[in-house]
Amino acid sequence: MMVATPPAAPHIPVLLRPILNAIAPVSGTWLDGTFGAGGYTRAFLDAGADQVIAVDRDPLAFEMAKGWAGEYGTRLKMVEGNFAQLDEYASDLDGVVLDLGVSSMQLDRADRGFSFIQDGPLDMRMSQSGPSAADFVNGADEATIADVLFQYGEERQSRRIARAIVADRPFSRTLELAGLIERVLGRGKPGQSHPATRSFQAIRIAINDEFGALIAGLEAAERALKTGGKLVVVTFHSLEDRIVKRFLASRSETRQGSRYAPEALVEEGQFKLLSRKAIGPDDIELSENPRSRSAKLRIAERTGAPSTPFSRKGLGLPRITEMKLI
């Protein structure tokens, strides 16, 4: 018997109020690198942006926008692509916004394979192309699987899970893999997150190269923003937030070239932080949208300092540069 996929819950934009407050008055050209359900894009256009260039790597995002996108005419330009290359889509921008991770539409649609609650093909590809989660768990060697689970999911039982995956593969369905992880880790206490949460996050990050895209996207935003332009980033877990925090910290330092001639060699950083600490959801947002609980917002303003190559050292970026599929 075929079981129909229930319709996905609409995606509720996260931290929208503090974003709009921080960037008011909204004007000029913005690039929304994570269009998703279009929540930010619409809000920016409605708040006065002249144009929004909306980028997403998931072609389905634009399919779903067909019903309303026409309302904005040429003020809305949609680009299927990766925000890692956002400076190829636009320059001289007044703002760039990145709302990282997956949308509720992607998570809740069983056929996209992100869910460990609903059964679906073991897919997890945002762009619907390239190696899938099944290719990874069925093809990577045990050490690589363990590294991915540990480094991208902070899963302390990564070695035990990797050993069990290699012994039991191939896997083709999300619930087969979730069930195996539950057998290895045990069910967990009521109120705790599902035992497969960390492993699914890790596999999703790895196959979509989310951290590689994030760093390249931050660098590209630096090149594409005009002086005074705003960079707005919303993250959903500590590993992502650490990358954004360290990038902005290193780019907002004033560097002194020499202690013998400090005035001559002071170099301004490329960004000025608009809030020193990350901004989280308030109680109203938490009660309206429990999924916002781990969201963190960081905002910075581009200075006039020239963009320079960025050293990734010290970013705390897990070192999985290449996935070995066998």
Ligand X SMILES: C[S@@+](CC[C@H](N)C(=O)[O-])C[C@H]1O[C@@H](n2cnc3c(N)ncnc32)[C@H](O)[C@@H]1O
What distance in Å separates the CA atoms of residue 191 and residue 113, rounded to the nearest whole number? Answer: 24
What distance in Å separates the CA atoms of residue 43 and residue 16, rounded to the nearest whole number? Answer: 8
**Which is closer to ligand X, CB of 39 or CB of 195?**
39
What distance in Å separates the CA atoms of residue 177 and residue 183, rounded to the nearest whole number? Answer: 10
- Between vectors from CA 25 to CA 48 and to CA 298, what angle results, nearest 5°? 110
**Pairing of β 271-273 and β 296-302:** antiparallel
Candidate ranges 31-39, 114-122, 307-315, 316-324; the one touching ligand X (CB under 6 A): 31-39
Contacting residue, 15, 23, 76, 102, with ligand X by CB under 6 A: 102
Element (H, E) at 231: strand 225-235
> Is there binding between residue 51 and ligand X (CB under 6 A)?
no
- Compute the least distance from the CB of residue 40 to ligand X, in Å: 4
Contacting residue, 103, 144, 292, 303, with ligand X by CB under 6 A: 103
Instruction: Number of residues interacting with ligand X: please give it, by CB under 6 A.
Output: 23
> Is there binding between residue 44 and ligand X (CB under 6 A)?
no
- Compute the least distance from the CB of residue 266 to ligand X, in Å: 35
Of 26, 17, 30, 16, which Cα lies nearest the Cα of 75? Answer: 30
**Which is closer to ligand X, CB of 83 or CB of 150?**
83
> Is there binding between residue 318 and ligand X (CB under 6 A)?
no
Q: Alpha helix (H) ranges present in 154-273? A: 158-168, 174-185, 197-207, 210-224, 238-251
What distance in Å separates the CA atoms of residue 289 and residue 6, rounded to the nearest whole number? Answer: 20
> Is there binding between residue 196 and ligand X (CB under 6 A)?
no
Contacting residue, 36, 95, 120, 153, with ligand X by CB under 6 A: 36
Candidate ranges 78-86, 113-121, 140-148, 280-288; the one touching ligand X (CB under 6 A): 78-86
**Residue list 211-240, contact with ligand X (CB under 6 A):** 213
> Is there binding between residue 201 and ligand X (CB under 6 A)?
no
Candidate ranges 101-109, 117-125, 254-262, 287-295; the one touching ligand X (CB under 6 A): 101-109
What distance in Å separates the CA atoms of residue 313 and residue 76, rounded to the nearest whole number? Answer: 37
- Number of other CB atoms surrounding residue 43 within 10 Å: 18
- Contact residues for ligand X, defined by CB under 6 A: 11, 13, 33-34, 36-40, 55-58, 61, 82-84, 99, 101-103, 126, 213
